[in-house]
Amino acid sequence: MHEVQEPKKPLYYYYGVALLILMCFNLLAMPYMAEKQVKNIDYGTFMTMTDDKDIGRVEIQSNQIIFTDKAEKNIYKTGPLNDPGLVVRLHEAGAKFEGQIIKQMSPVLNILLSWIIPIGIFFLIGQYMSKKMMDRTGGGNFMAFGMGKSNAKIYVKSSEGIKFSDVAGEDEAKENLSEIVEYLHDPGKYKEIGASMPKGILLVGPPGTGKTMLAKAVAGESNVPFFSISGSEFVEMFVGMGAAKVRDLFKQAKEKAPCIVFIDEIDAIGQRRDGRAMGNDEREQTLNQLLTEMDGFEGNNGVMILAATNRPESLDPALTRPGRFDRRVPVELPDLKGREAILRVHAKRVKTDGSVDFNKIARMSSGASGAELANIVNEAALRAVRAGRTAATEADMEESIEVVIAGYQKKNAILTEQERRTVAYHEIGHAIVAAEQSGSAPVEKITIIPRTSGALGYTMQVEEGDRYIVTREELENKIATLTGGRAAEETVFGTMSTGAANDIEQATKLARAMVTRYGMSDEFGMVALETEGARYLGGESYAQCSPETQTEIDREVSAIVKAQHEKALKILSANRAKLDELSQYLYEKETITGEEFMKILKG
């Protein structure tokens, strides 16, 4: 449930726009409308009127003559002719020579046209616009109207609020946060002892792991209002606006205390301030305001700030020092047990038939975040509907993992026979190299159905459980497996194809990490040659060595990959008959399971 806050529209904004419209109106529309009431007559009539002395005022312009009748009731205009005696004749007719006839003629109309109507029009437009904005954002978040107001939505306690039980896995984080819930329930207990709660808690972890959900769950469990705002919403176009928003947010929060303020993506404002000459003034001011606000309230006033980020390394140290965000709760990617639990939570919302083995699905989706798992379950349900079934099956789940990993099946991709044969050999090459090395994850499935992601086929390997540390031999085996596809092409066709580009990239990355980060090269040993970039976003690493060393590293990396490539070639030559047999089988079937594969390989 959201409670909407009506933004106050600053009047100066209205005035500014009104002035602008007025100016346009006076410049363009006014003359046009004034001209409208001027009667256009021919020069002959003008001369007749002059002769009849029926002329009041006259204004001779270069391209027209504007004049009135004697009674000055009507305004006329006519084109000028080369008429040298005109001025004399007009003078004799008693005409008054004046400029600005049109404007002077109708002061009432004039005011009406240039002031009242435009203002009226403007107010109608303004009314309409602000109403529309309100409808669209459901809360008047239009920047120009709500400048300086925080966009925090109040998430009022409600029966449908998220509870800890909705967040699967993440037991450590929940345990950590349940203390906050306890405190919000009964602050007195803590005050008595004199213990003060941390003011801010930083939820740190990769995207989609349920940080927002956890924050909402804390609010739901403790039954307090929940303010949520994204850090990027503070970053405004004008310097000082973001700071004003921070001030406003805390004002609102203090009024509603006890409550929870959740700032998502706090790195948008909390980025490390460094001494760069061209700093970002707006961001710094906003951050400073946030720090000031956090210092300003006592630990026990019941406002609890939760913030989320997936780039903790980029946060300003001032933000993470004691007294501010002094508690850090890691929200990591779920482990096997966590994945299974998340799948089960989300599967409750869709119909599944009894056949689904969640443990297996969890094992297949190693490395997936909570959001991705939720997506997998939803994809499975969609697939079941598409097939006209009433419940999602295990096959739906498996397919949707592949969809999430590799994209949809590309039904109409037309590969030539030779291409498909090459892909079959390539995938079987990966699988055989994996199977022939001890300690490799077992092959779960091999397919050569093209996917929308561009993959023409893939070999899925599934670990039995979670892996926390990996040995040097295992990394080497992994690299060998990655080179297995290309090695098979070389063994069978004697050529190379572009199909191995992705394998090459991954193998190189692994080999480079072995040298630069894991200290697994004989040459450098345990020396850190690179520092990791954004840890949770899989960012680039930064080199930390001299250019000469870089050259050495490159040499080491290619030596590692080359050695494993040779090993793969050897394995495949030794299993040449099986390679042919399995590839033929895969070519015909398009998809084979790990069991089928092992049966043929060992049979």
Looking at the Cβ atoms of 146 and 312, the one nearer to ligand ADP is 312
- Long-range contact list for 93-99, CB < 8 A, 24+ apart? 93/50, 93/51, 93/53, 93/54, 93/55, 94/53, 94/55, 95/50, 95/55, 95/56, 95/57, 95/58, 95/67, 96/56, 96/57, 96/58, 97/57, 97/58, 97/59, 97/60, 98/57, 98/58, 98/59, 99/59
> Which of the residues 382 through 441 are near ligand ADP (CB under 6 A)?
none
Per CB under 5 A, 485 contacts Zn ion: yes
Work out what residue 33 binds among Zn ion, ligand ADP, none; the CB cut-off runs from 5 to 8 Å by kind: none
Work out what residue 242 binds among ligand ADP, Zn ion, none; the CB cut-off runs from 5 to 8 Å by kind: none
Work out what residue 407 binds among Zn ion, ligand ADP, none; the CB cut-off runs from 5 to 8 Å by kind: none
Q: Which of 402, 427, 436, 489 is catalytic?
A: 427
Q: Name the DSSP letter for residue 388.
A: T
Looking at the Cβ atoms of 7 and 370, the one nearer to ligand ADP is 370
Q: Cβ 535 to ligand ADP, closest distance in Å?
A: 15
Decide if 427 is catalytic. Answer: yes
Work out what residue 484 binds among ligand ADP, Zn ion, none; the CB cut-off runs from 5 to 8 Å by kind: none
Which one of 140, 210, 312, 450 is in contact with ligand ADP (CB under 6 A)?
Answer: 210
Stretch that binds Zn ion, among 49-57, 79-87, 495-503, 562-570 (CB under 5 A): 495-503
Per CB under 6 A, 230 contacts ligand ADP: no
Q: Cβ 547 to Zn ion, closest distance in Å?
A: 32
Beta strands in 355-451 (DSSP E): 443-447
Measure Cα distances from 193 to 187, 188, 197, 432 in Å. Answer: 11, 9, 12, 65
Q: Cβ 557 to ligand ADP, closest distance in Å?
A: 34
Alpha helices in 201-350 (DSSP H): 211-222, 241-256, 267-270, 281-296, 317-320, 336-347
Count of residues interacting with Zn ion (CB under 5 A): 2
Q: At what angle do helices 547-574 and 576-589 cross, to 10 degrees?
A: 90
Work out what residue 225 binds among ligand ADP, Zn ion, none; the CB cut-off runs from 5 to 8 Å by kind: none
Per CB under 6 A, 370 contacts ligand ADP: yes
Looking at the Cβ atoms of 230 and 491, the one nearer to ligand ADP is 230
Short-list 553, 546, 547, CA closest to 525: 553
DSSP, collapsed to helix, strand or coil, labels residue 47 as helix
Burial string for 475-514 (b: 16+ CB within 10 Å, else e) reads bbbbbbbbbbbbbbbbbbeeeeeebbeebeeebbebbbbb
Per CB under 6 A, 534 contacts ligand ADP: no
Which one of 59, 340, 503, 530 is in contact with Zn ion (CB under 5 A)?
Answer: 503
Per CB under 6 A, 209 contacts ligand ADP: yes
Catalogue the active-site residues.
427
The residues of the shown chain that bind ligand ADP, judged by CB under 6 A, are 167-170, 207-213, 308, 342, 345, 370-371, 374
